[in-house]
Structure 1
């Protein structure tokens, strides 16, 4: 179960075309990692698979010229802009075993608040993250304080602040244990990445490389992982259409033993 941002998931298709195993291509924009983990967990829980490889990738140059501007133009980027992460992250899901476990999934809805600025993805995706959070807390009876960490996918600094403010209006305090992969993936000052990171790989790489070891060691016992995605295309951006967004929530707990 994999996907990416490059024209009809081309990177995924050509990357795994020689593997003689069943394949389901996914597109949730930058929420694809959460979608892969969610769908994979459902397939295993339903008895349709024993082992699943789920992942997502993105590429800076390919995504930037597809959704924003060709890089040689040297367009000045506003401070609200994020920088697409070049990378790939994947997880192996199994019905049994030691290590972190997916214990809950909350599937998000498409939310469109009328944002049209492709240089401000955080503003476009933050309402989808808020909708997902509210649905999750209402359905489970939990609060933000029930998690060691809550992390969204790639809202960056702008979207992160919007989530904190919008959730506060709903009566939820997100100020202590909430962060965003787009904030963690780059050093804002030394790398001049403006609002932070974005792209399918943003949440995939940050989860696999940063949060997974913490789950393995027990430093994090329970996390709510919410990859977020802006569902625009190269065509919709040119046509001046709005940017619908979606977010998918996955609860991961540290499990019974060490990771391999």
Structure 2
């Protein structure tokens, strides 16, 4: 029987609408079931973070829960050197509100399918991933890279949940040291801003001793002119403020006089009505 001349269509990369390439994923070499990953070059105009360069970042959808960042890095290392891997619950920016916490204090993530951002060291690795044949699966669990699932995974997570006191104390000390340093820098910055604002308001310049061997520079004519203009603006602002205060005071006096005048007219009208009032039963 002559062999069929028809080529196998699955040996080519599978591209679906949206520009996603489909990669086949297999848990181990003996597994018959396969899982599909959808990959695409990360192109977001609003993305300005240096952690996801637009020409070297691969966007991956439908990552199963048993694939950690280390496993994903090993899977895509066959296409080129991987610089970093980031797994998230949903697509989004890398900007995080609040301080960066240690892994000991982070809340546990959701156990479900994730999206990933794989950053390669070379842009040619993206082309290699998108041109990978669909019928050649990526194997997750191998002898060199065993992946635990089920009860073994729960036991591993339970064992890793215990924190060694020395590591925890070291993490806390490092965090507090960075926090105190940040507070000191913030206090110093606020102090300098307050001194600068005070100098600008008063029109005085603080003179400090320079480095050894340096000569003091005299005030230039431009600096004197700037100080003079600042004083003139302060004087005009003060005069304008006084003018508005005087105008407001006169307005209040006129308003009070008008109210008194209306009050007297109302009194006279009421007295006239009382004098003209008569008893008319019919």
Q: Where on the TM-score scale, by shorter chain, does this alignment land: which range? A: under 0.3
Give TM-score scaled by structure 2 length. Answer: 0.20
Q: Higher helix proportion, which one?
A: 2
Q: Higher strand proportion, which one?
A: 1
Bigger Rg, which one: 2
Give TM-score scaled by structure 1 length. Answer: 0.21
> Which structure exhibits the higher relative contact order, with contacts defined as CA atoms closer than 8 Å and separated by 6 or more residues?
1
